[in-house]
Amino acid sequence: MWDIDGNEYVDVLNGFGSNMFGHSPQFVVDALTKQLEQGYEVGPQHPLAGELTQLICELTGSDRAALCNTGSEAVLGALRMARTVTGKNLVVAFNNSYHGINDEVIVRGTKKLKSMPASAGIMPGAVENMLILDYGTDEALQIIKQHLHELAAVLVEPVQSRMADFQPKEFITQLRAMTQEADVALIFDEVITGFRYAQGGAQEFYGVKADIATYGKVCGGGMPIGAMAGTKKYMDALDGGMWQYGDASVPEAGVTYFAGTFVRHPFALAAGVASLQHLKTQGPQLQQQLNAKTKGMVEQLNAFCYALDLPIAFTNFASLFKMKYKHEYPFSEFLFHLWRMNGVHVLDGFPCFLTTSHTEADVQFIVDAFKKSVNELIALDLIPHKKTTNGQAKTEPVAVTKKVDVSKPPVPNARLGKDPQGNPAWFVADPARPGKFMMVQQ
């Protein structure tokens, strides 16, 4: 990526996880170009809609699939299907999960099992049919058991993007058994995990089949998309079930309403088909290699953090990784800024993603830029770290080691800035170049 000043970055934000194959992969560009030439009108059913939903079903092992524009819409549709089929209202979801921007899922739970909107502008009534519990706990399983008779669904973010290293297999296995027996829909929100961990997403990881799964991001190849896929029993609530012209068949299931002007947009369909075809032809090793690449990078980053006893740990699941502070300390936000200034496109606190287009050199660049950023903070004593007996941090030699006393200007009216290597340095007005500054050599 290049910013408007021409600075170059390695992107690890990657469209919030929607670019699993890097920026503008050729096979997606080709599919979009072809569609652009053919036209992109919406309205009539597009032949690619059938192709894409078939690919989704094939790769995820679902009976049926339907499309929409975003992950949030997919979650909305999944909840609506679950309530239509079960005839019940209450839905369990979990603290720390993210399910998009619908009112109902921007919610926080209390220990007394009250649900409250987690953002301004959401009416308390909007979340009154949500029961919010702690993810992966025995207590949550007990509470779910007590409420099974009144539940329409349990909505799960199977590996929470905010806690990527928490993968509660036993909890999920028990939850699946419990919901199956009670005829409660188990909804896996696979908007991030879908097609990323493996073709079968987090369901493959946990070895369970959800009743409904929601998708987005990867399956749109960078175009706006959402999808719901699952068992016939629930998916039929969108269209009444299979029927055809020319015989006596009719849609028999009770249906709910779900629609949108741009649902099944030709660009999203073309990019989606190209992406899933790519996954299909490359086979499972695509994800296996990408996951291993991410794990290797996270191990390198963690080894560095550990050696310096930094209050930082990296977690990952598949190609998602996240930097987390183990505890609060002043100026903790500086590290994101520095990492970005050192050429890595990150956003404070957001999950990051590696893609199939990141090379080994890119990975090394990301790691080196992180080390450089940490060392810059160490040089300014702005990050807690292990000190050696001589007071210096025990650290690998990285370019940035020069220590400048930033507490007082070396000459009157000097201003603090950075030298060309990014180290802190003092500057004074340059008499030869009005309006410009020159570095004070120390």
Residues lying near ligand PLP in the complex (CB under 6 A) are found at 16, 70-72, 75, 98-100, 157, 161, 189, 191-192, 216
What one-character-per-residue DSSP string does 32-67 give? Answer: HHHHHHH----SSPPHHHHHHHHHHHHHHT-SEEEE
> Shortest Cβ distance from residue 97 to ligand PLP (Å)?
7
Q: Give the max Cα distance, the chain.
A: 92
Considering the complex, what minimum distance in angstroms separates the CB of residue 331 from ligand PLP?
A: 28
125 is written with which tokens? Answer: 């009534």
Query: Minimum distance between the CB of residue 329 and ligand PLP, rounded to whole angstroms?
Result: 28
Q: Which is nearer to ligand PLP, 100 or 241 (CB)?
A: 100
Give me the residue whose beta carbon is nearest to ligand PLP.
71
Please give the C-alpha separations between residue 413 and each of 46, 418, 428, in angstroms, as whole numbers.
67, 16, 7
Q: Say whether 302 sits in a helix, a strand or coil.
A: helix
The nearest distance, CB 386 to ligand PLP, in angstroms, is 35
Mark 202-211 as b/e (b = at least 16 C-beta within 10 Å). bbbbbebbbb
CB of 436 to ligand PLP, least distance (A): 44
- The dihedral sign for the CA sequence 35, 37, 38, 40: positive
CB nearer to ligand PLP: give 104 or 157: 157
Choose among 219, 231, 280: nearest CA to 20: 219
Nearer to ligand PLP, 11 or 189 (CB): 189
- The secondary element (H helix, E strand) that includes residue 186 is strand 185-189
Task: Work out how close the CB of 70 gets to ligand PLP at its nearest, in angstroms, rounded to a whole number.
Answer: 3
Q: Which is nearer to ligand PLP, 16 or 40 (CB)?
A: 16
Helices (H) and strands (E) in the chain, counts: 12, 17
User: Would you say 192 or 335 has its CB closer to ligand PLP?
Assistant: 192
